[in-house]
Amino acid sequence: MPGAWFRRFGTAGAGARRLFCFPHAGGAASAYLRLSQALSPAVEVLSTQYPGRQDRRLEPGVEDLGVLADLLAEQVRREAGGRPYAFFGHSMGAIVAYETARRLDRQAGSGPVHLFVSGRRAPSTGPHRSDRLLGDAQLRAEIRRLGGTGSRVLDDPELMEMIMPVLRADYRALAGYAWEPGRPLDCPLTVLVGDADPVVTVEEAAAWRELSTAPTAVRVFTGGHFYLDDRTQDVAEVIVSRLDAGARGGSAA
């Protein structure tokens, strides 16, 4: 489905909540396959397929996070159709989710009911040095350092040839991103981070609480940058718990 922005990997039951998910740099919609299955049928996951990857590989990647958020805000608005929804973003996807939420909140007054940000320092703390990588050698080294399933492609030349244009585009977008202060969000935030993440500390992740006037919860998991690969069920339980609490008008412990 070239040009389409969202993929569904699970089934949605009656009354299922909706969760838009945003992948990491170099990642594709399939990064959320296991999470979609773990949340099904209670939560309908719509996993974002950025241009330039998998079935959208013939489209140029978007090298500006602001432009990407502009495009996604319109796509989410159309897909949501006035129904409540939440966002989940991991690593670069956390920034994409946040900036998309800001646009929806500002332009339509109908942003997400909850924002889950994972594996990323708050943008108000400034960029990490890994956002300023130069050249393919540094990009390859970063993939290996972060680990996760993505690091396995390093030993497959054909896969690397396919993924490098996407990585270059995504890291150019990260290098060009600068957080602009503005009105904070008014939706609850849940911050998720691995205790051994090499690119974000728990303290840096917790700084997300400054970006919303609503309650913020921080959840720390055992693992590195891609803790989600090993703790999918635990993350799914946090998502359901926090969405349930929001529906009741309370906050999860």
Give the amino acid at 80: A
Q: Which of 91, 118, 151, 251 is catalytic?
A: 91
Count CB-CB contacts under 10 A for residue 140: 17
Residue type, 174: L
For the ranges 133-147, 174-188, 197-211, 212-226, which has the lowest average pLDDT? 133-147
Whether 155 has a pLDDT exceeding 80, the answer reads: no
Confidence (pLDDT) at 253: 41
Closest of 8, 72, 66, 63 to residue 41, by C-alpha: 8
pLDDT tens figures, 90-124: 999 999 999 999 999 876 568 999 999 999 999 99
Query: In degrees rounded to 5, what are phi and psi of residue 26?
Result: 80, -10
Give strand pairing partners of 190: 116, 217
For residue 150, pLDDT over 70 is answered with no
CA distance 11 to 41: 5
| Residue 226 contacts residue 149 (beta carbons within 8 Å) | yes
Q: If you average pLDDT over every residue of the chain, what do you get?
A: 89
pLDDT over 70 at 151, yes or no: no
Q: What tokens does 189 get?
A: 């935030």
Query: Residue 91 catalytic?
Result: yes
Burial call 145-169: b when 16+ CB within 10 Å, e when fewer = ebbbebeebeeeeeeeeebeebbbb
The mean pLDDT of 81-85, rounded to a whole number, is: 89
Q: What is the mean pLDDT of residues 48-54?
A: 93
194-235: per-residue pLDDT in tens? 999 998 999 999 999 999 999 999 999 999 999 999 999 999
pLDDT at res. 252? 45
